[in-house]
Structure 1
């Protein structure tokens, strides 16, 4: 980065003010939280850079070696140059120098390579004992080697235990006064010479200067400037891609079958959100998957917007959405790609299903198991770790299946301060979910998964990448004498729907098997099909002649189907006088329809209260009765509880990127604020607002003389901002002026201008 200051800047704000636009732009892109809201000037930008919240976000995105360098800079006494830092981390200067440049570009460190200074937030975030070193003492020790030798070998053994941390030890009456003459124990001899100092009544601590001396100038015992290797087994890349494509096809089938089942038998939404364990277990058995897989399938469908909680009457049920119908219209590749994109960018940690929620706000909540589709599954860390896990698989190379533990270590090196054990669990879950999604095959990353690692991946790119591996849909099946149909590939959607209506899925895979049975054929008749339609469809879509047993099965079920009829009626009317019912059928009451089932019985699809009201309006006096014929007495209406409304988890931070235009706008605003600050008049009159008459006089004179004026303007939210303007006109309570910040003419309400001063 370039600077315009010939001398060393005294503060971070001065250093940032000397950066060029390219360096500021890179800082804003790598730390986008600094731009919202737009800082008024470089001073405000520097304040945000040094805030703990912003610095923590930047440090959390550093890899292990970057954090090690910050720890070393925080532990070493200032000033620190690249040579001393290299010695402190035990790495050559050519390795350390580019990483120091990165820290300077992130503004976590400022100064020059000969005088590196971590910002205040770094010291606070890394804690009082960076790299396991104790606090700095002001005592001057002289010859430390001689001082340590004088304490004796047993005292040296105590120091050796404290050298690499933790730098504290427990001892009774640590704060008692001790002299070299009165010292008897090793710890007392160390206390008398200041080689350890009391922290409290029962704790001693090793001063930082002593710790660094005992470590031989090293801050850290070992450092890793590069990530650990991704060891694993070699597999055929082509076979791995085909295996991954097969898994992708199986996932699409599982999602389709699961949502079809939800549409037929929708499970209820639990009081705490999510779907019950028994419902997931039942669904897993019906779609032919393991319970954990079924839960993951539901989560992926939920992330893609294919299933949602819907109010049905007085309860909530899990049902497919209209987006599911649109999803079914897509080809296999795009259906898969939509599921992958939803998983890749989603916040839901699927691996938490069936575990206890350690983040619960109460003890009962922490003991409760997390259900599938529950709102408690959202974690901000999940998408970041998914990206890193896939990057690790890609780093291993095509045809290499790295061991899961090496992937965990690789991700841990890249994000040492993010998540701990939960981070490691997320890595393992991400690898397993990637296999279920068909992003990996035989443990290796598939070629069609690599578009996900691009700058802005899209579903179309993923679909295009996997399309060559997806089989073409077929419209014909092979009917066999054992009442099965074999689909030699994925079926065209209309063919699959018709076949599923009359046969049950027996097995999935490259060739799906469907079995015809009495119940499955009856299901087709229940959907309105006739025997003639089934015979015609089977003959049209079978590559082989229709087997005679299947023809007999269809005809046999058709003969017995519909002998007993079942219907729905909301209201029935019975009357011993047939003439009353006959007159009622001929009366055409508004909004009510009747059907006669017997001479003395009619039914209506309208609700009982509506029928009762219409009959009374017609001059009749009906009497309501219960199902068993008893008199129905109307009581006071019952009140139900208000429906529960869930709220999503409120995250403290969000990931976003700035566009080039946004970066440019922020830099322009900061530069303009610096110009205003540089031309600000003296301190006189800035602490308290000026009188309105004085402000108007200054502005009027400036408009007549065409001179530049510095003003403090308060907006409708009470926020004040400084501006340099060129007044043009003052009239009717408004100032018309040219604003140098926006380079446009603007109007300002005079009562909102608290101070105005001419600029020399």
Structure 2
């Protein structure tokens, strides 16, 4: 088995690297009965039927078992003897023993696995029902896509803290629920959908928007949905996808749960929870509605994402490019805005509500934010006039003019310590705040909200701080002062706020480290490997208190076979009771050439 196949095996079998020192430990871990049961619990009934037939020697009765045999081999549940035909694979003893115990655990026997019949067929969906299903699915899909977009926007502004015991902190969860427009208990599901689509990430104990989120937000709503739905499909276990594809025209209700229990006979609560989570996400994303696949969902499951997107786009509300500007400084969109317009409007105004008819509110702070991002009074008026169905109301026009005239009343710049006169205040400062408005500067100097940046007056028109210019700039901005940054020549410059979005952390795979360690153990001399295998067999015999035949090379070169029950292994020697002579023997490991378990 090459490293790629071995990596897949260890991931699929969920092998824990702790305690595995060499390939013998790995073999023990894979053949452990509890590990075998865990692997069997994830197998579907047709694959289990092939395993049962291989165990019973009746593979000839199974139609085309090759693919399922390959999967079983990949899970290290069986192997093929080199000299045997492909139809006579060897099922490992621990697997056979576990299958033997199934009836006592309330699980199907080998015969039941091979010949058991499926539950009754599921209820089919009529053409009339399909129309209602598609409408409901479109509502779900639009709502979920919108909720994910708003959650990502909220994470972009402020990351959310993950608790050590798991789960998001309650204040952050409430904030995200309000932003996404969902109930508090729906936040984990929306976050999970975003994470599965690689749009949200957890790093350093904080949930934040992933780098892909910005590009995703620029897409049309239907394209956003396709990305989320495709991510759901990618995470769907292949065997479950096969079940769903075979039942595209049926209702996935309680009858489907019964079928899943039959199809995964040893899956238990874990499989039910996995299936329940997948189906709940499918319902939220509009892949299903009321437990039945939508037309878009059917296309998706068939591997037709373009057709799925087209089917959903037909039912989504059309995007608009015009809004109503109100006298109370609100902006109302009569439908979902085109992504480019929505993105620019968010830089100018704050989102108040998000639905089919979204609303935004323009404030002095939001306009200051826009001006700081490169907008001017003229560009703001021009953009708003181009999207308005009602012109620009006088209160909004006045606020734009007033805010732009005050914008830059405070100017923040960096101080070069090397250029400062030694012994002066500037020599220990890193930034300054200046203004021609002495009253405004005096207000800033005594503002308790700004005490953290330790502003110190050095004249009627100047304050200094020991903190960097970006810290001072954004502290003043957050305190709602009309502030801009400038360079050494007094030209206005833009300094971005440190982004909350972090690059996705490099995944650390403990399996890769384990394989490296195992690979290193394989570089030892063959003789050492053989001695290790002999020692391992004797250790197992000591633990199991079993009798083995030990072949010992004598000084004259001949060999002697002792049938012993090993009782201890230490100091390069094995002690044990000779089953034939009924005496205690101590044999040097270096002289033992073979250990053979009794049949």
Q: TM-score range by the shorter chain?
A: 0.5 to 0.7
Equivalents in 1 of 2:310, 2:301: separation in Å? Answer: 15
C-alpha distance in structure 1 between counterparts of 2:42 and 2:304, whole Å: 25
Structure 2: distance between partners of 1:80 and 1:232: 36
Shift in Å, 1:410: 2.0
Work out whether 1:445 is the aligned partner of 2:289: no
Instruction: Determine the structure 2 residue equivalent to 1:431.
Output: 279
Q: Does 1:332 align with 2:221?
A: yes
Q: Does 1:409 align with 2:258?
A: yes
Query: What displacement does 1:440 show?
Result: 1.8
TM-score, L = length of structure 1: 0.44
Q: Which of residues 308, 325, 332 is equivalent to 1:486?
A: 332
- In the aligned structure 1, how far is the partner of 2:320 from the partner of 2:366? 22
Equivalent pair of 2:51/2:69 in contact (CA under 8 Å)? no
> 2:250 matched to 1:342?
no
Q: Deviations over 1:303-352 (max 9, x none)?
A: 333333567xxxx6443333222223333333322223333334xxxxxx
Q: Cα gap change, 1:122/1:462 in structure 2, threshold over 3 Å: closer, same or farther? A: farther
Equivalent runs, 1:519-534 vs 2, <5 Å: 524=370, 529=375, 531-534=377-380
Distance of aligned partners of 1:244 and 1:595 in 2 relative to their CA distance in 1, 3 Å threshold: closer
Larger radius of gyration: 1
2:194 pairs with 1:301: yes
Deviation string for 1:570-602 (max 9, x for gaps)? 8999x9xx9996xx99xxx9x988777754886
5+ long unaligned stretches in structure 1 = 1-28, 35-47, 83-95, 134-163, 167-211, 213-217, 347-382, 609-644, 653-760
Q: CA deviation at 1:439?
A: 1.4
**Using the alignment, how far apart are the partners of 2:68 and 2:352 within structure 1?**
59
TM-score, structure 2 normalization: 0.53
Q: Deviations over 1:20-77 (max 9, x none)?
A: xxxxxxxxx9xx979xxxxxxxxxxxxx9xx9699989966754476468669968xx
Q: Does structure 2 conserve the Cα–Cα contact (< 8 Å) formed by 1:309 and 1:318? A: yes
Residues 493 and 606 of structure 1, relative CA distance in 2, 3 Å threshold: farther
Deviation of the 1:433 alpha carbon: 0.5
Instruction: Give CA-to-partner distance per residue, 1:710-739, whole Å, 9 cap, x none.
Output: xxxxxxxxxxxxxxxxxxxxxxxxxxxxxx
Q: Deviations over 1:171-223 (max 9, x none)?
A: xxxxxxxxxxxxxxxxxxxxxxxxxxxxxxxxxxxxxxxxx9xxxxx966996
Distance 2:461 2:392 in 1: 47
Residues 72 and 329 of structure 1, relative CA distance in 2, 3 Å threshold: closer
For residue 122 of structure 2, give the secondary structure of its aligned residue in structure 1.
coil
Matched residues in 2 for 1:343 and 1:277: separation?
A: 26
SS in 2 for 1:333: helix
Give the Cα separation in 2 of the matches to 1:263 and 1:424: 35
For each residue in 1:390-441, what CA deviation from the matched residue of structure 2 results, as whole angstroms up to 9, or x when unmatched? 555554444x5331x2222222322223x31011111111111012222123
Residues 122 and 332 of structure 1, relative CA distance in 2, 3 Å threshold = farther
Matched, 1:230 2:119: no
Corresponding residue of 1:539: 385
Q: Does the C-alpha gap of structure 1 residues 72 and 222 become closer, same or farther in structure 2, counting only changes over 3 Å?
A: closer
Q: Distance in 2 between matches of 1:310 and 1:570?
A: 34
Pair 1:121 & 2:92 matched: yes
Pairwise mapping of residues 281-430 of structure 1 onto structure 2 (< 5 A)? 281-309=174-202, 317-346=206-235, 383-384=236-237, 387=238, 391-398=242-249, 400-403=250-253, 405-417=254-266, 419-430=267-278
C-alpha distance 273-219 of structure 1, shift in aligned 2 (>3 A): closer
Cα distance change, pair 566–445 in 1 and its aligned pair in 2 (3 A): farther
Q: Distance in 2 between matches of 1:341 and 1:453?
A: 9
Q: Look up the match of 1:476.
A: 322
Contact 2:348 2:370 in 1 (8 A): yes
Which residue matches 1:706? Answer: none
Q: How far apart are the structure 1 equivalents of 2:459 and 2:300? A: 71
State the Cα deviation string for residues 456-491 of structure 1 (Å, max 9, x = none): x48656545544445553321133556543323332
Q: Give the 3 Å change call, closer, same or farther, for CA 593–479 of structure 1 in structure 2.
A: closer
Cα distance in 1 for partners of 2:275, 2:131 equals: 25
Q: Is the 8 A contact 2:416 2:430 kept in 1?
A: no
CA distance in 2: counterparts of 1:248 and 1:81, whole angstroms:
45
Quick one: distance in 1 between partners of 2:123 and 2:388? 50
**Cα separation, partners in 2 of 1:322 and 1:570, compared to 1, 3 Å:** farther
Select the residue among 347, 358, 362 that pairs with 1:512: 358
Q: Per the alignment, do residues 604 and 494 of structure 1 end up closer, same or farther by CA in structure 2, a change over 3 Å counting?
A: farther
SS in 1 for 2:335: coil
Q: Which has the higher helix share?
A: 2
Cα-Cα RMSD? 5.5
**Contact in 2 for aligned 1:572/1:602 (Cα 8 Å):** no
Cα distance change on mapping 1:120 and 1:286 into 2, 3 Å? closer
Indicate how the Cα distance of structure 1 residues 63 and 99 shifts in structure 2: closer, same or farther if over 3 A, else same: farther
Secondary structure, aligned partner of 1:402:
coil
Call closer, same or farther: CA 1:125–1:301 in 2, change over 3 Å.
same
State the distance in 2 between where 1:292 and 1:129 align. Answer: 43
Kept after mapping to 1: 8 A contact 2:347/2:369: yes
Structure 2 residues not aligned, in runs of 5+: 11-26, 82-86, 435-456, 469-504, 513-599
Equivalent pair of 1:74/1:130 in contact (CA under 8 Å): no
Change (3 A) 1:528 1:68: closer
CA distance in 2 between counterparts of 1:254 and 1:517 reads 24
Secondary structure at the counterpart of residue 332 of structure 2: strand
Q: Deviations over 1:656-675 (max 9, x none)?
A: xxxxxxxxxxxxxxxxxxxx
SS of the residue 1:490 aligns to: coil
Aligned equivalents of 1:559, 1:59: Cα separation in 2: 68
